Structure 1
């Protein structure tokens, strides 16, 4: 428990670490919105929104470098070079299958929300064949997450059914998380398809520990496009190029990249399903093994480049996730749509 407590304290500490001053950082900004309404549902993981600022300037303070160096000695990224850092602010919402019921629903997914800040550091291996992502996240759950007023306002504006059961949500707590992910190219399953169209296959693993959730995950992704980096898919916001347009789309004003993915996850703890430890929170029995499939399309618009910013991009994804908890009645799989919009500055 002392080790876990130290890691959780480190997460909150890393989020607050100062950066050394840089007057003109090169940044990318984007918005990520995830919602299940595109698939005619309003349940489970029903909404997520994230505002992101990403900097390619290495503005890490000496203290940050020491912490990241310690982590990289553990996870084999000590010789990797800094790629970029990322600052995020976001909110997540979870609800049961029927949001119009005001009474407790002990056999369905609990109401829960999270309001969080997050910092990430991405490091690229010397051969360019792997990217390591170190993440520290800290946030609040319960009424402090503001998920209840946010959902009610959204439903009022769009004239949707009013959510009735937020009085039975997972309670207030400081929720923190630290994680590491390694994404590596698989050259044996990569190559050229037709003409300049390329196929890139990459595998990844991820470890996460915290009061939000603790899990281990592994998966694979396949990317089809042109001018692809060795490790694909590249994170949003770093592939806006200055060169001539070269696209697999049928229209010359847009550049397209297709991404397919699969992931399996072994879950030791999930706050949004089990509630806070030793508290009288609503909760259900989680499934310890969860899988998901995803399909995405990234669209870059080179003609939108301006004097103060790079070209705009949009990224569309659909994520299909297996049942995450057990109940007397069958728990359906769940599908969420994700939209990312952004540009660089």
Structure 2
């Protein structure tokens, strides 16, 4: 089963990508890692490959040929707006996430620290852009536990880098099929006359065994041609990145996020079996900031996420879920 999962994910992405409109496709590779902020614990690594199909963007034209969505988000499409649309994006992401405790040399990890865990997942996000707001639905299916290959991935990377060999993967979460669905909206409240500054707010919610949470964000940006890319901020939580930045624009941004987490499998442990877990503060206020730059048919995005502002450094969850993320995207 473990050897078949990566092949299954690649096969699903191949099937979904067959529906891409000619010339409208974008692909991206995203690396999340706490090494970007000089750490090696908590959310320690994530590697994702994403395919995007878009229409109406970036020209902000009437969207008459919207890309098809997959069966993953079909049950959620009733909640999407039916008024005139100026663009839409269908994003399909396959990847691996890993969480580890602070001390990787312990065979029996600290029971008060974040447990070892990994997840292989497939996410479909569907975004609809309008004149001054955008909406998104997303759905994720995945598996946590040894079948997610976290032990093998981290040991290989640490061997290449010459880092400490992680010893505690024997205590990781058990194999479990997991899911999550979500809905969000972002508003563009203000923009400068030259379209080089704007102010965004968002509301998002998700439910599932992976994570259930509600959040709100305030985002300030400075850059070029910002109107074409504001909706893509709804994709950040699903580890997909800016699907419209391959059009000559650039920007820097800072965002303030307030969030309440109801459940988080990487902290609470397995849903239906006893496993390692850790107590954490379910409320969170954090600062995210980053930069996106595009040239030709490519773009590069770097961001630092979940820099908590209020919780004390001893809080495991808020302190150890900080990470940097680097994405390269290209149009084909």
TM-score by length of 1: 0.78
Please say if 1:116 is aligned against 2:121: yes
SS at match of 1:298: strand
**1:162-241 alignment to 2 at 5 Å?**
162-187=165-190, 190-192=191-193, 196=194, 198-229=196-227, 232=230, 234=232, 236-241=242-247
* Conserved? CA contact 1:69–1:78, under 8 Å: no
Q: CA deviation at 1:22?
A: 6.0
> Conserved in 1, the CA contact under 8 Å of 2:30 and 2:48?
yes
Distance in structure 2 (CA, Å) of the matches to 1:30 and 1:124? 20
Measure the CA separation in 1 of the matches of 2:29 and 2:220. Answer: 24
1:271 pairs with 2:265: yes
Q: Paired residue for 2:75?
A: 67
Instruction: Find the residue that maps to 2:93 and give its secondary structure.
Output: strand
How many matched pairs?
A: 300
Partner of 2:327: 340
Q: Distance in 2 between matches of 1:61 and 1:37?
A: 35
Q: What secondary structure is seen at the aligned counterpart in 2 of 1:285?
A: coil
Structure 1: any 5+ residue segments left out of the alignment? 1-14, 246-254, 303-309
Residue 37 (1) aligns with residue 15 (2): no
Deviation of the 1:161 alpha carbon: 0.5
Distance 1:164 1:17, change over 3 A: same
The C-alpha deviation readout for 1:84-112, integer Å capped at 9, x for no partner, is 10111011000111111111321111111
Which blocks of at least 5 consecutive residues in structure 2 are unaligned? 1-12, 56-65, 233-240
- In the alignment, does 2:135 pair up with 1:132? yes
CA distance change for structure 1 residues 218 and 61 in 2, over 3 Å: closer, same or farther?
closer
- Shift in Å, 1:61: 6.6
Give the Cα separation in 1 of the matches to 2:208 and 2:14: 17
Q: Which residue of 1 aligns with 2:302?
A: 316
TM-score of the pair, normalised by structure 2: 0.81
